[in-house]
Amino acid sequence: MRIFIKLKRYWVPYAWWGAGGVVAMGILTLAGLTRPWLLEQLIDRVISRRHFTELPYWALAVIGVALFRSVFNFGRQYLGQVFGQNATFDLRQGMYDKLQYLHFKFYDNAKTGDLMSRVTADTEAFRMFLSFGFIQLMDTIYMTVFSLLVMLSMSVKLTLVTLAAMPLLLVVVLRFEKVVHPAFTRIREALSDLTAATQENLNGMRTVKSFARERFEIGKFADRNRAYVQTNLDAAGLWASFFPLIELLSNLAITLLLWYGGTLVLRGELTLGRLVAFFSLIWYWIWPLREVGYQINTLIQATASGERLDELLSTDIAIKDGPDAVAVPAMAGHVHFENVFFRYDSPRPGTNERLDHHALAGIDLDVPAGSVVALLGTTGSGKSSLVSLIPRFYDVTQGRVTIDGIDVRHIRLQDLRRHIGIVLQETFLWSATIRENIAYGRRDAALEEVIAAAKLAQAHDFIMETPLGYETVVGERGLGLSGGQKQRIAIARAILNNPRVLILDDATASVDMETEHEIQVGLVHLMQGRTTFVIAHRLSSLKHADQIIVLEAGRMVERGTHEQLLAAGGVYRSIYDIQFRDRQQEVTRTDESGGGFADAAAAADTAAALERGDR
Amino acid sequence: MGSGVFKTARELHHRRKPQAGNNAERFYYKEEVVFEKPFDWRQARRLGAFILPYSRLLIGALLMMSLATVTRLAIPFLIAQAIDTTLSGDLKATFWTAWLMKYPAATRLNLLVAIMAGVHLVNWLANYLRIKLTNTVGQNALYDLRQKLFSHIQTLSLKFFDSRPAGAILVRVTNDVNSLQDLFTSGIVSMLQDFLTLVGIVVIMFSMHVTLASVCFVFLPFVLLITTRLRSRIRHGWQLVRVKQARMTAHIAEALQGIRVTGSFHQEEENKEFFQDMNADNRWNWLNVQRFQAWFHPIIEIMGAIGTMVVYWYGTNLLRGGSMTVGQLVAFATYIGQFWEPINRLTQQYGNILVAMASSERICEYLDTVPTVVEEEQAKTLPIIQGRVEFEDVVFAYEEGRRALGGVSLTIAPGETVALVGQTGAGKTSIINMLSRFYDVQGGAIKIDGHDIRSVSLESLRSQIAIVLQDTFIFSGTIMDNIRFGRLGATDDQVITAARAVRAHDFIMRMPEGYQTEVKERGSRLSMGERQLISFARALLAEPRILVLDEATASIDTRTELLIQEALAELLKGRTSFVIAHRLSTIRGAGKIVVLDHGRVVEMGNHDSLMQQRGVYHGLIQAQFKFFSSAM
């Protein structure tokens, strides 16, 4: 129950609606109890005692009660919904808000599926309870208590005898609730197996077809299909055992009522009208008892969901503006890493590997404004970690990163990130127009600015070839673009704000050889006048790098220009030499094919090997 | 909370239709699928055909359903008899109860109670069997339907899969079939049950008292009119809500996917504003349906009350005249009370049927799709081939007017390696698609050892061609299973031999459980290079005569890079090979380099000869690597 207090800021503002619903429900149930009483009056007064002149009043009273009830019936349902919907609105908004601001570290660990189910399924379970379950639960109490009072006032004996059957009904209902949940879970699991198998088959269709394995796949599917059907049949077996049984117990209770009540009538201890009224009143016990398992379950689910929601809502967003954050309207772009240490206290992004050592250790790197730094190294050497510290995707563990002499932790996040343009490893485009995508960082950018950025990123030409140009919708639901085209839009997006610092994190990793070259040409222009950090791209842009840094296990092992590093004969050189075999072959042919091409080809292979060494 | 402004529902007014904010249009979400379709007999018959094999069980289910309905309807009648023969002031026996009158009152009551208990037990048994039988029929029919759909999809050609996202196909196999579940397992039987209940009540009421029954049912048409009207309004309202919710879910999924982009561009507040619009819109639509929905039960109740009032008023007057008994009056009131629930359910079921129609139409659309690549009727089995491949003026277009291959002619000798080079869209992939007969040529012909590939069976063709894709597909299962996919009958030793040959053995043995290590779909535990080596082993195990390789561009570490180059040499040895090459070393190693541009062969030859030509190939290579000629 504590969870409802923890989450009170979401529902308390609307508590009056909920209270209204509960009150309406109470009035509704009370008014309902007049119906058996009306029937009793009809039989005992009008018919048995022959007061036929009263007939119109009793008959009209039936309509009156129905009209009265209808207002409250509407009220309890609608008020409950208003209560639940408003609270859920706030809850959902609060969650979205939180998700927007949570730090990258959180997302490194989080599973999207889990977050999705919190925002959708858990919110829904919580809503169900607020707008419906809660009022129903109250009604269970109303119905049993009110009707018990009425029945006791009519006949104590008959009440006790008829309710004797109720505990048995309750036991069966609770037992059912207990077995039905595992059955549902098994159905869900079997379905997700079936879905996963189908999805795998569809994703691997080319492989399936190329090995002509269709029949094998059909057999695999049949197994899963059979298993799924079986879990459904098992669950149906449960329905078959329990529903008719619950029905039978309810009916037997009524039969018991008729037998004992009839005996009382025969003995003259009860009027016929009262007995008939009891036939209705007993349902005020049977209905809630049948539902009680379901209601308890709704409550348990809402509590569990609430816990999960609260867990997410109370996660610390970790990276935010400090109290001493300063506005930095303009920056030159002088980046300085001062003895930086950094460790992930969670598994490395995208893997399950937990690093027990620092991702970065003792990095001292001074990057003057406008210069270009290239970072090389294998997977896990710390390249991405290093650049992530500049826009504060993560905060350093020790040491500091400064821009123009100011610690990045003291710069307003908004300003910091506005001055940094980033092209991430994986290109992500929104389901929006190309224009919206490029102007993602600044929605009010004029079309001219968007076009200028697209031209710089070598994207303008292919954009103009799309059906609606800049208004073409792309992303998951829009026009499919090739990897290279997406990449170029991402680059245009990064430079729209004319950032002083540009970070290209493996920007050309997933495009093919020919396209990579095209992108490279554009990048050379982009880097001019900006402090640029480049990770693992073609060596042709390394040529422009003022320093090349080779990282190994979080440490800088080499730094210098291309020429210096080749001459130094260290790691850089040795990776370069892996292709020596090829190169030697080329040397023998150099005379025929002429020029320095042979070396070029060999070196390019080296470069490819070197760059790709880190994936 | 995040650091921005958080607006509550209260601040955004809970009732007014929300007005779109500044950022309402930043993302696009298309309208989702059609929710319902009008009833269509042809579709219904097609679906019915899946139940036909289980018709004997179905008949059993229907019998049990009838028995359950009759026994349930008998109870108020029996209570009426108990009242009239035992409890009422003036006793009255009917045709059914005359035999009871010879017993004393207490015995009469006991006997009737015993009969009632017996009826309840029969009802219990009938319901148990009904549920069992209907589910057996329904689930088996669904199994058949799912199996038929999946098997049919397996026969379809790649054109089908290339022209729609895998997710869309998946939804039909799982969701659309499952949306028929309620209809198949309980829907039809429960509709018949409701119908039977209604008929039963009408018959019993008329048999008890014709005039009273007629007066009661005068209101029936109004009730039906109002409920169906209201129902359809509510149904459409809910559909709109579902669309809104689907959009909201889609957006949240997208927002999570792009969260790093949002962070990089500091767009949290703007996105929140966008979501707030969606959220408010959803709430408004939801409450809007509720404004109708919440009236539904009150209206049904008022209708019921009118019926009850008529019974009381008119019935009591009849009773006064002696043409009616107290028991009958009570029974009438009970039956009238039970009359509305089946009507309510039937109108609801009607909506479900329309939804099922939409699903069944989508399912049938797939079942009616025919493969575009079909075997000839007298397709012969391709004998073991040498591997001589000829493309004779091959013309092909994926879509009308967008030519992918414009007359390609190639002759490849057995055992020769061909490297395909060219820009994206030049036709490299199309050549591979043609050769494996994923698509059929639209002009010209492809011959292997002189056999036109359209004249041989698909299985015999594809079993001699192995294809290694750029994006290696790893199935969930053990590494052993994944390699064995290349030849299902291969022994463990044969699998290991293949893995050794392509240098995959060492890294596999380093995994926690070696060949028995479970890998997840897409092989997330494996590096790109390792996945490639596994797919090499898979291809090698298939012992193909022709190898098609779409070389991966993705980066790999230097050690694996060397392994891959060795493995590649092993794989290409002695086979006719088509390679979409991304490594210069692979291109140079090829006996023949085919340079493609806009679906045509522009240059052909080996590396040296093409370099000397100083044509397209030379330019391509030069442009990319010129840096080194100046740097060195």
Please check whether residue A120 is in contact with residue A3, taking contact to mean a CB–CB distance below 8 angstroms: no
pLDDT at A187: 87
CB pair distance less than 8 Å for A262 and B113: yes
Average pLDDT over residues B511-531: 75
- Sequence-separated contacts (24+) of A18-22 with Cβ below 8 Å: A18/A79, A18/A80, A18/A83, A18/A130, A18/A134, A18/A135, A20/A75, A20/A79, A21/A75, A21/A76, A21/A77, A21/A79, A21/A80, A21/A83, A21/A135, A22/A76, A22/A134, A22/A135, A22/A138
Task: For residue B465, list chain A residues with Cβ-Cβ distance below 8 A.
Answer: 210
Residues A293/A296/A298/A304 CA torsion (nearest 10 deg): -130
The minimal CB distance from B312 to the residues A58, A247, A604 is found for: A58
Facing B280 at nearest CB: one of A58, A62, A89: A89
Residue B4 has pLDDT above 70, yes or no: no
Q: Which two tokens stand for residue A316?
A: 């610390």
Contact B124 A517 (CB under 8 A): no
C-alpha separations of B103 from A265, B77, B95, B107, B327 in Å: 17, 20, 16, 6, 19
Are A93 and B262 a contacting pair at CB < 8 A? no
Overall residue count recorded for chain B in this entry: 632
Nearest one of B231, B219, B226 to B308, comparing CA atoms: B219
Task: Tell which phi-psi region holds residue A603, choosing left (phi > 0), alpha (psi between -120 and 50) or beta.
Answer: alpha
Among B408, B632, B64, residue whose Cα is nearest residue A596? B632
> Is residue B142 over pLDDT 70?
yes
- pLDDT of residue B66 exceeding 90, the answer is yes
Chain B, window 383-402: residues with a beta carbon less than 8 angstroms from a chain A beta carbon: none
Per-residue pLDDT at A477: 58
Of A367-376, A564-573, B105-114, the range with the lowest mean pLDDT is A564-573
Residue B139 has pLDDT above 50, yes or no: yes
pLDDT in the model for residue A614? 33
Show the tokens assigned to B165.
């996202």
Indicate left, alpha or beta for A382 from its phi (over 0: left) and psi (-120 to 50: alpha).
Answer: left
Of A130-134, A584-588, B356-360, B442-446, least confident by mean pLDDT is A584-588
Verify whether the Cβ–Cβ distance A595 to B629 is below 8 Å.
yes
Strongest mean pLDDT among A37-41, A75-79, A178-182:
A75-79
Strand partners, B549: B468, B579
**Best of B103, B135, B171 to mutate (most A CBs within 10 Å, chain A):** B135
Q: Residue B53's pLDDT is what?
A: 93
B168: pLDDT strictly greater than 70: yes
ipTM, interface predicted TM-score of the complex: 0.83
State the average pLDDT over residues A474-491. 77
Find the residue in B nearest to A227 (Cα): B143
pLDDT at A578: 54
C-alpha span between B606 and B621 (Å, rounded): 14
The predicted-structure confidence for B258-308, as pLDDT tens digits, reads as follows 888 888 888 888 888 888 888 888 888 888 888 888 888 888 888 888 888
Q: Quick one: what percent of chain B has pLDDT higher than 90?
A: 13
Average pLDDT score, chain B: 83
CA distance B553 to B570: 20
What pLDDT, on the 0 to 100 scale, is given for residue A449? Answer: 92
- Whether the pLDDT of residue B106 is over 90: the answer is no
Model confidence pLDDT, tens digit, residues A53-81? 888 888 889 889 999 999 999 999 999 99
| Cβ <8 Å between B558 and A100 | no
The Cα-based distances of B443 to A12, A102, A302, B411 in angstroms read 72, 57, 64, 17
pLDDT digits (tens, 9 = 90+) for B429-470: 888 888 888 888 888 999 999 888 888 888 888 888 888 887
Please give the residue that has the higher pLDDT: either A31 or A478: A31
Which site among A49, A57, A85, A96 would you substitute to test the B interface, given the most B Cβ atoms closer than 10 Å to its Cβ?
A96
d(Cα A422, Cα A376) in Å, to the nearest integer?
18
Distance CA B464, CA B497 (A): 19
Percent of chain A clearing pLDDT 70 (strictly above): 86
Q: Which residues in chain A touch residue B520, judged by CB atoms under 8 angstroms apart?
A: none
B242 touches chain A (CB under 8 A): no
Nearest CA in chain A to B310: A59
**Number of Cβ atoms within 10 Å of the Cβ of A521:** 12
Three-state DSSP state, A242? helix
CB contact under 8 A, A443 and B161: no
pLDDT in tens, B576-623: 999 887 767 777 778 889 988 888 888 888 888 888 888 888 877 776
Confidence label for A612 from pLDDT (cuts 50, 70 and 90): very low
When pLDDT is averaged across residues B545-555 and rounded to a whole number, the result is 74
pLDDT of B631 > 80? The answer is: no
Q: Give the model's pLDDT for residue B1.
A: 43
Instruction: Find tokens 């002696």 and name the residue.
Output: B322
pLDDT at A300 over 60: yes
Q: What is the pTM of this model?
A: 0.80
Contacts of B573 (CB under 8 A, 6+ apart): none
Write the pLDDT tens digit of every residue in A194-243.
888 888 888 888 888 888 888 888 998 999 999 999 999 998 888 888 88
Are B324 and B205 contacting, i.e. CB atoms less than 8 angstroms apart? no
Helix, coil or strand: residue B393: strand
A interface mutation test: which of B584, B595, B620 has the most A CBs within 10 A?
B584
Residue B150's pLDDT is 92
Which of A408-422, A496-510, B83-97, B219-233 has maximum average pLDDT?
A408-422
Handedness of CA A223, A224, A229, A233 (dihedral sign): positive
Residues B417, B568: Cα–Cα separation, whole Å: 11
* Cβ(B166)–Cβ(B218) below 8 Å: no
Q: From the list B110, B264, B555, which residue is nearest A422 (CB)? A: B264
Mean pLDDT of B332-339: 85
CB contact burial B426-447 (16+ within 10 A = b; e otherwise): bbbbbbbbbbbbbbbbeebebb
pLDDT of B554: 44
Which pLDDT does position A510 carry in this prediction? 54
- CA angle A602/A605/A607 to nearest 5° reads 110
Pure H helices in B573-615? 584-589, 607-613
**Composition of chain B by helix, strand, coil, percent to 5:** 65, 10, 25
Q: Do the Cβ atoms of B291 and A78 come within 8 Å?
A: yes
**Interchain pair B302, A67: CB under 8 A:** yes
Chain A closest CA to B123's CA: distance in Å?
8
Which stretch of A342-346, A420-424, A470-474, A502-506 has the lowest confidence by average pLDDT?
A342-346
Give whole-number Cα distances, B268 to A103, A497, B10, B139, in Å.
Answer: 12, 17, 22, 47
CB contact under 8 A, B113 and A209: no
Query: What pLDDT is attached to residue A24?
Result: 94
Q: Which residues of B touch A82 (CB under 8 A)?
A: 14, 287
Q: Note whether A458 and A521 are within 8 A (CB).
A: yes
Please tell me which residue of chain A has the smallest CA distance to B630: A596
Please report the pLDDT score of residue A595 as a whole number. Answer: 36
Q: Is B595 helix (H, G, I), strand (E, B) or coil?
A: strand
Tell me if A383 sits within 8 A of A614, measured CB to CB.
Answer: yes
How many Cβ atoms sit within 10 Å of the Cβ of residue B291?
Answer: 13
Tokens 């691997």 label which residue? A204
Range A588-606 average pLDDT:
38
Are B326 and A43 within 8 A, CB to CB? yes
Evaluate if residue A138 carries a pLDDT over 70.
yes
Is-contact A456 A523, C-beta < 8 A?
A: no
Q: Mutate which of A28, A207, A485 to disrupt the B interface (most B C-beta within 10 Å)?
A: A207
> In angstroms, rounded to a whole number, what is the distance separating the alpha carbons of residues A159 and A260?
10
Q: Does B263 touch chain A (CB under 8 A)?
A: yes
Kindly indicate the confidence band of residue B65, based on its pLDDT and cuts at 50, 70 and 90: very high
CA distance to A206, A207, B473, B522, per residue, from A200 (Å): 11, 11, 9, 9
Alpha helices in B83-217 (DSSP H): 105-155, 158-162, 166-171, 177-178, 181-182, 188-208, 210-217
Chain A: residue whose CA lies nearest to B461: A212
What mean pLDDT comes out for the span A493-507?
A: 85
pLDDT confidence of residue A74? 92
- Report residue B344 as tokens: 């309510």
B490 Cα distance to chain centroid: 34
Query: What angle, 0 to 180 degrees and rounded to 10, lies between the N-to-C axes of helices B210-217 and B188-208?
Result: 130
Cβ–Cβ below 8 Å for A62 and B305: yes
CB-based contact B495:B541 (threshold 8 Å):
yes
Max mean pLDDT among B97-111, B202-216, B613-627 falls in B202-216
Which tens digit of pLDDT belongs to each residue from A237-295? 888 888 899 889 988 888 888 889 888 888 888 888 888 888 888 888 888 888 888 88
User: Mind spelling out the 3-state secondary structure of B65-88?
Assistant: HHHHHHHHHHHHHHHHHHHHHHHC
Average pLDDT in chain A: 82
Contacts of A575 in chain B (CB under 8 A): 558
Q: What is the DSSP string of A473-521?
A: B-STTS----HHHHHHHHHHHHHTT--SEEEEESTTTTS-HHHHHHHHH
Query: How confident is residue B56, by pLDDT bands cut at 50, 70 and 90?
Result: very high
**pLDDT at residue A600 tops 70:** no
Residues of A in contact with B249 (CB under 8 A): 116, 120
